[in-house]
Structure 1
Amino acid sequence: MTPKLRRVAVVVNPLSGSAGPAAVDEARRILEEQCVQGVVRTPEETGGVEACLRASLEDNPDLLAVVAGDGTARAAAGLAGADGPLVAPLPGGTMNMLPRALYGDRDWKQALADILRNGEERIVSGGEVEGRAFYVAAILGAPALWAQAREAAREGDLWRTLQRARRALRRAFSGRLRVSLDGRPRVKTEALVLMCPLVSAALDEEARHLEAALLDPANALEAFRLGVHAATGDWRADPKVQAGPCHVGRAWASSHIPAVLDGEPARLNPTADFRFVPKAFRALVPKEPAA
């Protein structure tokens, strides 16, 4: 049954990767075409992304839709939480990790029109590391720095690509992680990937745990490959990966731990706890046709 949408809030960042300067007008047009009452806001109007999201949630909408990058998508889901309104993190950024997991190859305009016309609720589980949420995957350790270099290259920023690549080379193999999964003895590894049920090929969506993978490359070339594979979601096929289920765990390092959470870089404390979150937020997704 399609949820009743009396009021919709849409947050658009026209400056994000694939939104574009006409995104605000296009969002208003789609709302009008679907006969849905809604308010479209931009971060520039409200003093930043978080202020824009909070202002939109204060309207008590039935749906909060976001056309922006991965960080904004993750922030919207986290602010709404398990008991808040439905959330639609639409593909308006560069990597679009969470949007692609929910909406496939649809662009944001098609995804918005589809869910307003014929959407259904989907409970999304996720993970949390040091209190920071992720819904697709988290990479902890030096290969996360290679993923950051790859993202700078995708954006065409040569200087930032070189800087991040140099930093990744300096960190490679200089400080391995120690990881304990579900209370088991610590093991050493170069990096840890935590994959959520939403996208893990080894888990169905009803799974009550994360998939944890230990990445242990033998050299800088393998570290780069694993970092790229982890960022694009095809790391499980790599022969250097050992994977299994995990509910809770802890990672230790000699210094701050570089990380990527749903495509966004992060810097974690030298000791970082993580856990599975069975009900993270409620997404509105297109209704799948009956088999």
Structure 2
Amino acid sequence: MRRVEIIANIASGSVGADAPAVAERILAEHGVAGTVHTPGGDLSACLRKVIDSDPDAVFIIAGDGTARAAAEMSGPDGPPIAPLPGGTMNMLPRAFYGDRAWPEAMEACLTQGTPRMVSGGEISGRLFFVAAILGSPALWADAREAARAGKLRLTALRARRAFRQAFSGRLRFTLDGRPKQKTEALTLMCPLVSSAMDEDELALEAAAVDPSNAIEIFRLGVSALTGSWRDDPSVSMGRCRLGKVWAAGRIPAILDGEPMRLEPEVQIRFRPKAFRAVALPA
């Protein structure tokens, strides 16, 4: 790599105010040219400017939302993206770099990194590369974020809201033309991280999640956040390349660790070529 552009969000979970200086030092030590950008209010404009400058790679030191946005914007034809861990969950960084801290992951990318095409999923135009959770268990993400921030009262309020909304709006879905079904939640896992699929498999791992009471919703909410949801007895597995999900109101969701609300009806699609990542040797 001759030129690497870096976006460092110093306000993000585990980045730190000294991140720009540390990143510049690492670039200099490896003889790589580049600029460290610290975006203000307009993150999208900063990402667009950096990606359009066509560097050899773009390194992202930020949270899950920024990593996902950068990968989505660069796509399969843009510069490779290195999503370095700078947030709380770090779902995409962990998939590529394990538990390395961002300075260690950055050095590994500069010395060993190679471009690699990555598949992913798409939900009504929004891409994800690790996992998506649709339905009421996604509401536990809001409580989790409040707990991480030490806001106990807000955590309790959001947890009560998650309980209150359980079973208030079940999802309906159909996958790959199969019969319509109802469920409390639908989870989609990409080949990048699925332990039940080969990495080059051309489909998403889909799980209909249908607990029978609020206690099971709580258990599932916890397991979804800790990554052990596959072991939950209310989960049934399958594969998906195309699908549709709909509900009576807006659908709570988590895409690669980022909470959001989706439209009442969404389309699901597997993307075999979603973006190029800076990957390390296996």
Q: TM-score, normalised by structure 2?
A: 0.97
- Give runs of aligned pairs for residues 266-277 of structure 1, distance below 5 A: 266-277=260-271
C-alpha contact (below 8 Å) 1:111/1:286 kept by paired residues: no
Q: Distance in 2 between matches of 1:84 and 1:251?
A: 30
C-alpha contact (below 8 Å) 1:147/1:228 kept by paired residues: no
Percent identity between matched residues is 60
What SS is found at the alignment partner of 2:35?
strand
- Give runs of aligned pairs for residues 1-291 of structure 1, distance below 5 A: 5-44=1-40, 47-288=41-282
What SS is found at the alignment partner of 1:218?
coil
Which letter maps to 2:86?
G
Q: CA deviation at 1:134?
A: 0.5
Q: CA deviation at 1:48?
A: 2.3
Q: Distance in 1 between matches of 2:215 and 2:140?
A: 10
Q: Distance in 2 between matches of 1:10 and 1:196?
A: 26
Structure 2 residue runs of 5 or longer lacking an equivalent are: none
Any idea what the Cα deviations from partners look like across 1:8-49, whole Å, max 9, x if unmatched? 1000011100100110100001101111011110012xx421
What SS is found at the alignment partner of 2:223?
helix
Which letter maps to 1:201?
S
Any idea what the Cα deviations from partners look like across 1:180-223, whole Å, max 9, x if unmatched? 01111111100000000011110111010000001111111211
Which letter maps to 2:27?
L
Q: Distance in 2 between matches of 1:151 and 1:223?
A: 18
What SS is found at the alignment partner of 2:252?
strand
Which letter maps to 2:7?
V
Which letter maps to 1:42?
T
What SS is found at the alignment partner of 1:274?
strand
Off by >4 Å, runs of 4+ in structure 1: none
Q: TM-score, normalised by structure 1?
A: 0.94
Any idea what the Cα deviations from partners look like across 1:49-72, whole Å, max 9, x if unmatched? 112211211321110100000000
Q: Distance in 1 between matches of 2:176 and 2:280?
A: 35
Q: Distance in 1 between matches of 2:195 and 2:32?
A: 36
Any idea what the Cα deviations from partners look like across 1:220-270, whole Å, max 9, x if unmatched? 121122122223322111111101111111111111111111111111111
C-alpha contact (below 8 Å) 2:130/2:256 kept by paired residues: yes
Q: Distance in 2 between matches of 1:10 and 1:59?
A: 12
CA-atom RMSD in angstroms: 1.1
Q: Distance in 2 between matches of 1:133 and 1:228?
A: 24
Structure 1 residue runs of 5 or longer lacking an equivalent are: none
Q: CA deviation at 1:157?
A: 2.3
Q: CA deviation at 1:125?
A: 0.7
Any idea what the Cα deviations from partners look like across 1:102-138, whole Å, max 9, x if unmatched? 1101111001001101112221111011110111100
Q: Distance in 1 between matches of 2:238 and 2:101?
A: 33
What SS is found at the alignment partner of 1:175?
coil
Which letter maps to 1:148?
D
What SS is found at the alignment partner of 1:254?
coil
What SS is found at the alignment partner of 1:43?
coil
What SS is found at the alignment partner of 1:38?
coil
Q: Distance in 2 between matches of 1:82 and 1:160?
A: 40
What SS is found at the alignment partner of 2:26?
helix
